[in-house]
Amino acid sequence: MNLPDLNKARIRTDKKVEFKNNSYNFPKAFEGKKFFLKTYGCQMNVHDSEEIRKYLELLGFSETKELTMADIVVLNTCAIRENAHDKVFGYLGRCKHLKHENPDLLICLGGCMSQEESVVNEIKNKHPYVDIIFGTHNINELPKLILEAKHKQDIEVYSIEGDVYENVLYSRDSKITAWVNIMYGCDKFCTYCIVPYTRGKQRSRKLSDILTEVEELKQNNYQEVTLLGQNVNAYGKDLEEPETFANLLEKVAQTGIPRVRFVTSHPWDFTSEMIDVIAKYDNIMPYIHLPIQSGSDRILKLMGRRYTKEEYLRLFNEIKEKIKNVSITTDIIVGFPNETEEDFLETLDIVKKCQFDGAFTFIYSPREGTPASLIKDNVSLKEKESRLARLNELVNQYSLANNRKLEGKLVPVLILGISEKDKNKLYGYTDTMKLVNVSGDKSLIGQIVNVKILAAKSFSLDGVSE
Ligand code: 5AD
Ligand code: SF4
């Protein structure tokens, strides 16, 4: 296994760390003990938690979904907006209370918040009951930290990323769909975004390593892989022998795995070649998440997004023309510092023009250390909230209208399991990534079946298997 070169990394703690875990032969020191793992944030964190879970299982822990039953709690945190912070600190309060009752409880904090110096300081000063703080670059050190835990706060966070390391083991959430990292970090440095600081610079995995992982998943009967990166279109640019995402996507499709997806795309690196590959292969799903962030050229420039509204529209239209039946979703931020009503109307305008299948909408949240956080803002929170509500109304209208177009149609759905809300129903996703609650037999779980859509809502569909 290639290990990260930690000598390259600046170690934030005063202790010199040697990387020792170069094998997976950890002692099963915690047999009979239980872990509780809570994940916040994006798919990258969800996938990192699959790695964390594997380490905990290798140490002998078994999972509990009840916080109060846990011998060890691991919080895998998100830093993208302030409310993500608030949630974690709220949850830490509950953990503190439990630790009072059970002083042997180990509390570990990992993920993007750990990469923020101010958060680490706050935990050091105000939350001494947190035993272990580990970062996004050294998840693989968690077993060592747990084995050596002394119930005295231990902080191991590297502020600079190491190399990509391979042969990572995962305890995956699903036996049907799998995440596959194709790259780590991001070099785009959008001015509002903390990700390049918490996840480091872009590091692509080698194409051959990715294909090996996909082949193995296919052999294990996985029906779907989602290629994962902060900005997948920039895949391969940083490799010694540069690669393109279009080529990777084509090679992954050629493995014959039934469904291939990818997230997230940045409009800047989205090439016509990529669109052609997606259009060519039936097993590359016709679904693209294409964050626009704003419809105002002035704001896009301030955000450092490197495209104009017109350029986004041109790309959007090319995708719609070439990829039959494609669905496109987006991310939008309202209330970027000093966003005017005119700027906001431009955002509403692009939503009207694109009629997105869905949109994740956010109020801008200043992140410490990012360039945008230094801009003095004259827009009130009340105004921002009102813009968000106006935007959501429009966005939901188009989601519903797009979903309604499927009523009465037969669509392919990968059935993933039993619906949480209605235990008599199954749930799954269409090729276009729409959630469907399906009436059908449990034996369909894990299969791609044709489903007749009976009714559409804004965020889901109801259907029956044919
Ligand atoms: N404030 C609000 N939203 C943000 N996002 C990223 N950074 C911020 C921020 N500081 C949103 C963007 C991105 C999504 C994952 O989160 O829309 O695409
Ligand atoms: Fe953040 Fe921009 Fe990178 Fe996306 S592309 S992770 S918004 S810096």
Q: Is the CB of 192 under 6 A from ligand 1?
A: yes
Task: Please give the pLDDT value at position 23.
Answer: 59
Measured distance CA(142)–CA(151) in Å, rounded? 15
Task: Please give the pLDDT value at position 18.
Answer: 41
Task: Please give the pLDDT value at position 78.
Answer: 97
| H/E element, 278 | helix 272-280
Measured distance CA(162)–CA(144) in Å, rounded? 18
In which region does residue 76 sit, left (phi positive, over 0), alpha (psi from -120 to 50) or beta (all else)? beta
Q: What's the pTM?
A: 0.93
Where do the domains of the chain lie, and which CATH numbers do they carry? Answer: 27-156 (3.40.50.12160), 172-404 (3.80.30.20), 410-465 (2.40.50.140)
Is residue 414 classed as helix, strand or coil in its secondary structure? strand
Q: Is the CB of 335 under 6 A from ligand 1?
A: no
Cα of 54 vs centre of ligand 2, distance in Å, is 28
Q: Is the CB of 289 under 6 A from ligand 1?
A: no
Nearest CA to ligand 2 atom 5: 188
Task: Please give the pLDDT value at position 4.
Answer: 36
pLDDT one-digit tens code per residue, 406-464: 999 999 999 999 998 888 999 999 999 999 999 999 999 999 999 999 999 999 999 99
pLDDT one-digit tens code per residue, 142-188: 998 999 998 888 888 887 777 787 888 899 999 999 999 999 999 99
Q: Is the CB of 384 under 6 A from ligand 1?
A: no
Report DSSP state, residue 405.
T
Q: Is the CB of 196 under 6 A from ligand 2?
A: yes
Cα of 305 vs centre of ligand 2, distance in Å, is 9
pLDDT of residue 15 exceeding 60, the answer is no
Task: Please give the pLDDT value at position 247.
Answer: 98
Q: How far is CA 288 from CA 1, 242, 278, 291, in A?
A: 34, 24, 10, 9
Three-state secondary structure of 51-114: HHHHHHHHCCCEECCCHHHCCEEEEEECCCCHHHHHHHHHHHHHHHHHHHHCCCCEEEEEEHHH
